Amino acid sequence: MRTKEETLLVHTDRLLLSGREYRGTSRIDGPLVYMRNTHPVGYGELVEITAPDGTHRSGQVLETSDEVVVVQVFEGTEGLNLPGTGMRFMGEPLTLPVSEQMLGRVMNGLGKSRDGSTIPQGAVEKDVNGQPINPTAREYPRDFIQTGISVIDGMTTLIQGQKVPIFSGNGLDHNKLAAQIARQAKVRGSSGDFCIVFAAMGVKHDVAKYFIDSFEESGVLDNVALFLSLADDPSIERTITPKTALTLAEHLAFDKGKQVLVIMTDMTNYCEALREIGTMRGEIPSRKGYPGYLYSNLAELYERSGKILGRGGSITQLPILTMPNDDISHPVPDLTGYITEGQIVFDRSMQARGIYPPINCLPSLSRLMKDGIGEGMTRGDHPHLANQLFASYSHVKDVQNLASVIGEEELTSLDKQYLEFGNFFENKFVNQSFTEDRSIEQTLDIGWEALSKLPSEELQRLSDDEIAEHYGK
Amino acid sequence: MKDRIVGQVKRVNGPVILIKDVTDAAMMEMVRIGEQQLIGEVVKLHDGSATVQVYEDATGICPGDNVYGSGMSLSVELGPGLIGTIYDGIQRPLEKLMGVSGAYISRGVTFPALDHEKKWPFVPTVEVGANLTRGMVLGEVLETERVMHKIMVPPSIDECVVANIVGEGSYTVEDIIATVVLPDGREEKLTMTQRWPIRVPRPVHDRLPLAQPLITGLRVIDSLFPLAKGGTVAIPGGFGTGKTMTQHSIAQWCDADIIVYIGCGERGNEMTDVLREFPQLIDPRTGQSLMERTLLIANTSNMPVSAREASIYTGITMAEYYRDQGYHVAIMADSTSRWAEALRELSGRMEEMPAEEGFPAYLPTRIAQFYERAGLMQSLSGETGSVSIIGAVSPPGGDFSEPVTQHTKRFVRCFWGLDRSLASSRHFPAISWIDSYTEYLAEVQPWWSQHSEGTWQINRQKIMELLQKEVRLQQIVKLVGPDALPDSQNFILEVCTLFKTAFLQQDAFSEIDRFCSVGKQVRMLDLILEYYQRGSDAIAKGVPMVKIRRLKVIQEIARMRLTIENEDLAAFDKLQLRLERSIDQLGGIYED
Ligand SMILES: Nc1ncnc2c1ncn2[C@@H]1O[C@H](COP(=O)(O)OP(=O)(O)OP(=O)(O)O)[C@@H](O)[C@H]1O
Ligand SMILES: [Mg+2]
């Protein structure tokens, strides 16, 4: 047992010892390096690693004890060896110096320059792990974002400060959609200060290039901060990239009052990198080998969106993930859906039929739209109209199934009308071009045009007044 | 608190910390770790070392850091002022924390759960010399407009005599309001607060048989799958199927006296939504704000995982405390799966042997212990109160065969299964009439019988039978199309479709429809069955079904949930009359 004086001494020692370099590690395993005989090192501390060739890398303490410290190295362990690797434990968590000047720059997953140019160092250092927002300090998001895309604005309305992922599959048009949203999104009647934070995890160079080109074309590149950790970068770097990006986003939104759109792609790669570390450490996995804490881990990212009372700004998150095998029950989309405030779900068969954006609105959802649409926000008939379109379109699916068994000719005349409605809905309402920017009124009017293919007594989710005003007009 | 050092940190693995050189720490003792004073709890003792679970982010904790003992188990503070407050999983008042640490929750901050300055109007109900036993009431405080808070002898005092009690007046929760003498002559001073360890059920006199339904205002629940006051129910469903919305609705409109809402590992904005919405909603039964009966616990998904594990117990302990005062309490736990996952994560970090899907082998025991804390009880003071548990379950991939859903099913008696396909077609609440069940029918039947002129049970059975028939008929239709069925059977499909849109669906966003009174439910079901009866008769007489379904009155029935006010039962008489006339008229045409 130690006395108080001794305790104090230990703390002073620790302060003095942080930053001191140790050489020679005891084990290297994947992205993990084990170090013995250090001073007591804190959980989660930032580590600076010196490779045998003299270059520096950074890492974080994953586990600490009085015998051994486990460090994950964000740039990977390639080129490290046991005797020649040095480590400094910095006595503080991993931080990012943030500043507005990071907008317009291309950085790696740790916020360092990718092209050798210097990144302006901000005066404010922020812990990249963030801290949970006190629910009483949140402001409930309710400002409607017009994306100009009917199926989103009409059916799964985006709200400023919401987190909505795109559930896609390999080869589908998710990048195109994200680029279109980034270009067209606006809150009507507000001249807010917009910017974009873009985080790429494990995606190919051409995907990153696609986004950069598209930002450039729409003239917003100066307002975009890019954090790229691409397919050929060490996979471990992907685990820190979204945190770095969100740390800057928080600064821009909650210290500078900006409306920040965060695009993160591809979350599946992020989760796979986490799985890699978990497996390496011999952790007990849960479903499909993913760590049991994947839900909490993802929540720590996704919950860093929203609005805070009295701060002006907002963080809207648009994570993109590819569902392995298009399987929505795969742990990555599944756990994501349990955390985010809705989802936009892509459908391969719609893309095959040439529909862009290939969004199936039935499994898609916006949980926050209830407070952001209607009279004074979009239009009075919007809530019921959306509801009716959902109900009718879902009936179309039943009719299509039936038709595939008994043949279209055998359908009742009412069911045939439903098929006609369904065609119109998919080809005129959902389908639009990459450059088409529809106003919410246009969107709703096309919705009514679709419903006019059905007899009015089928429209039970709409009130008589709404039908009188809009039906068949 | 900083005086008693019980050991030093040896190893840190996330929220699980190993302590060495342990002297006198006790199991379940609350401890503080390091100079940051992070809150933790001893969960294992093994010669000379202890495992501690930390309730805050462990960043920065070092081997060698001191661990300080508190001498107490992790417990909650109980007394006036709980209602209307929002706490985190270990009962720290979030609004107060915001005052100290701003918009983000920082570590090592503590605050007493109750406001220690606020004065409450205390009225004694016993006199000097009164003999009291544990749990008996010695005074009352009007906590909110609708809740009379009973101040009780703490369960730790078996028997005592009141030596002194203050007169009517204003006191803080720290003021001494009574001095009692124990049988051994010792004196004990009582305040309006007591502490209780969260993992231990509060004692009661007796468990009583259940008898009354918990009226939720949701038709599919009340009329088809009722829950009893003191009962337990699970709501499993994949993401976005409506667990939270259903629980919000019940928390808003059910006829419990007190609501404990636990946001366990879910979204921050959902709690903000409750905080924003509840104070503005008026309880139709009392005319008062719904916040006047609601306690909130928010341990959102990004808050520390061990505190998530504790939040469930914190909530149920507070619920039991109000039950002991003679209130009917309903707990919403959203979501118990996140709690189970917290158990799994902690267990994994403690390197315990996993059972199914990585969950610890004691998962079923923990689930059972939690649900066993529900019930209708006679309290120590003789009052009758209940705790009903409504637990959301979030099965991975929406697959109900996973361990948490399966084990929960073993220990609850009511099951409201949410159906993804209903949710996609925006049929809300998406409670499946096929997967759901209730074992409380026998218990609540007498009550319903009284409130429905005896028709409830038989009507419920009739409609359930129709719904079963519909499933079979649908299968036929899927193979050969609707034309293959005779009108009499097609009409069953027609009535079931109407029943779904007109009765089972309920719009949480409609002022009129979001809550449905018992009277309205009874009349609506009556009317739909009446339609079935008269329609079938007419079809038997040769009236074609299309003619019947096109009747204008059917449109009105389809919208009655949205158009007819809860108390306006006369409107149903008119509707019924119109239905009868319309069908009779049709029948008349075809008769000759
Ligand atoms: N009774 C209802 N009335 C109208 N809409 C509803 C109703 N229930 C659910 N919804 C719709 O479904 C959405 C999802 O519901 P909810 O948030 O309750 O799902 P959940 O099961 O709790 O999902 P998760 O597991 O992801 O938390 C809501 O945002 C709302 O749009
Ligand atoms: Mg929910």
**pLDDT tens figures, B137-184:** 999 999 998 899 999 999 999 999 999 999 999 999 999 999 999 999
Q: Judge if the beta carbon of residue B239 lies within 6 A of ligand 1.
A: yes
A39, A72, A93 — which closes off a domain?
A: A93
Q: CA-to-CA distance for B454 and B458, rounded, in angstroms?
A: 8
Phi-psi category of A297—alpha, beta or left, where left has phi over 0 and alpha has psi -120 to 50?
alpha
According to CATH, the topology of domain B453-591 is 1.10.1140
Provide the residue range defining the domain that includes A68: 13-93
Q: CA-to-CA distance for A186 and B379, rounded, in angstroms?
A: 58
Among residues B103, B113, B37, the alpha carbon closest in space to that of B68 is found at B37
**A116 and A72 inside one domain:** no
Question: What per-residue confidence (pLDDT) applies to B4?
Answer: 85
For residue range B72-85, what is the model confidence (pLDDT) as tens digits?
888 999 999 999 99
Question: What per-residue confidence (pLDDT) applies to A314?
Answer: 95
For residue range B510-541, what is the model confidence (pLDDT) as tens digits?
889 999 999 999 999 999 999 999 999 999 98
User: B78-97+206-440 falls under which CATH superfamily?
Assistant: P-loop containing nucleotide triphosphate hydrolases (3.40.50.300)
| Record: contact A402-B481, CB cut-off 8 A | yes
Coil, helix or strand for A64?
Answer: strand
Give me the percent of chain A exceeding a pLDDT of 90: 70
Burial environment of residue A60 by CB neighbours within 10 A (0 to 12, 13 to 18, 19 or more): buried
Measured in angstroms, the CA of B443 and the nearest CA of chain A are apart by 35
Task: Determine contact, residues B111/B254, Cβ cutoff 8 Å.
Answer: no
Question: What per-residue confidence (pLDDT) applies to A1?
Answer: 44
- Across the A/B interface, how many CB contacts are shorter than 8 Å? 217
Helices and strands of chain A, counted as H and E runs: 13, 21
**Band of residue B28 on the pLDDT scale cut at 50, 70, 90:** confident
For residue range A223-241, what is the model confidence (pLDDT) as tens digits?
999 999 999 988 888 999 9
Identify the nearest ligand to the CA of B246 by its number: 1
- Report whether CATH 2.40.30.20 matches the domain B5-72: yes
- Mean pLDDT calculated for residue range B300-319: 93
Task: Determine contact, residues A163/A367, Cβ cutoff 8 Å.
Answer: no
> What is the number of residues in chain B?
592
Contacts B101 to A, Cβ<8 Å: 134
Provide the terminal-to-terminal Cα distance of chain B, rounded to the nearest Å.
93
Residue of A nearest to B341 (CA): A292
- Mean pLDDT calculated for residue range A419-446: 96
Residue B417 has pLDDT above 50, yes or no: yes
Q: CA-to-CA distance for A255 and B98, rounded, in angstroms?
A: 17
Residue A3 has pLDDT above 60, yes or no: no
**A34 and A168 inside one domain:** no
Question: What per-residue confidence (pLDDT) applies to B248?
Answer: 93
Q: Where are the domains of chain B?
A: 5-72, 78-97+206-440, 117-192, 453-591
Give me the percent of chain B exceeding a pLDDT of 90: 77
Q: Quick one: which atom of ligand 1 is closest to the CA of B429?
A: 1
> Would A227 be classed as within a structural domain?
yes
Contacts B483 to A, Cβ<8 Å: 410, 412
**Band of residue A6 on the pLDDT scale cut at 50, 70, 90:** low
Q: Where are the alpha helices (DSSP H) in B18-107?
A: 94-101
Q: How far is the CA of B236 from the centre of ligand 1 (A)?
A: 12
Contacts A338 to B, Cβ<8 Å: 239, 394
Beta-carbon contacts of B88 under 8 Å, excluding residues fewer than 6 positions away, are B94, B97, B105, B297, B298, B299, B303, B307, B311
**Band of residue A277 on the pLDDT scale cut at 50, 70, 90:** confident
**A235 and A194 inside one domain:** yes
For residue range B329-338, what is the model confidence (pLDDT) as tens digits?
999 999 999 9
Task: Quote the pTM value.
Answer: 0.93
Give me the percent of chain B exceeding a pLDDT of 70: 99
Coil, helix or strand for B36?
Answer: coil
Coil, helix or strand for A6?
Answer: helix
**A58 and A101 inside one domain:** no
Residue B72 per-residue DSSP state: E
**A192 and A132 inside one domain:** yes
Burial environment of residue B478 by CB neighbours within 10 A (0 to 12, 13 to 18, 19 or more): middle
Residue B104 per-residue DSSP state: B
Tell me the CATH number at A48: 2.40.10.170
- Token pair listed for A155: 């059916």
Question: What per-residue confidence (pLDDT) applies to A360?
Answer: 96
Which of B60, B101, B302 has the CB atom closest to A300's CB atom?
B302
Tell me the CATH number at A204: 3.40.50.12240
**A305 and A422 inside one domain:** no
| ipTM score of complex | 0.91
Phi and psi at residue A248, in whole multiples of 5°? -65, -45
**Band of residue A298 on the pLDDT scale cut at 50, 70, 90:** very high
Domain count for chain A, please give it. Answer: 3
**Band of residue B131 on the pLDDT scale cut at 50, 70, 90:** very high
- Mean pLDDT calculated for residue range A299-314: 94
Task: Give the bridge partners for B11, in sequence order.
Answer: A65, B18
Coil, helix or strand for B20?
Answer: strand
According to CATH, the topology of domain B117-192 is OB fold (Dihydrolipoamide Acetyltransferase, E2P) (2.40.50)
DSSP string, B109-152: ----SS-SS--EEEEE-S-TT-EEETT-EEEEEEEETTEEEEEE
**A20 part of contact set with chain B, CB < 8 Å:** no
For residue range A369-423, what is the model confidence (pLDDT) as tens digits?
998 999 999 999 999 999 999 999 999 999 998 898 888 888 888 999 999 999 9
Coil, helix or strand for B261?
Answer: strand
Residue of A nearest to B356 (CA): A286
Task: Determine contact, residues B51/B18, Cβ cutoff 8 Å.
Answer: yes
Angle between helices A267-280 and A331-339 (to 10 degrees): 110
Average pLDDT value for chain A: 91
- Mean pLDDT calculated for residue range A261-290: 91
- Mean pLDDT calculated for residue range B534-563: 91
Question: What per-residue confidence (pLDDT) applies to A375?
Answer: 92
Residue A281 has pLDDT above 50, yes or no: yes
**Per-residue exposure over B348-380, b if at least 16 CB sit within 10 Å of its own CB, e if not:** bbeeeebeebbbbeebbebbeebbebbbbbebb
**A191 and A80 inside one domain:** no
Q: CA-to-CA distance for A264 and A245, rounded, in angstroms?
A: 9
Residue B124 has pLDDT above 90, yes or no: yes
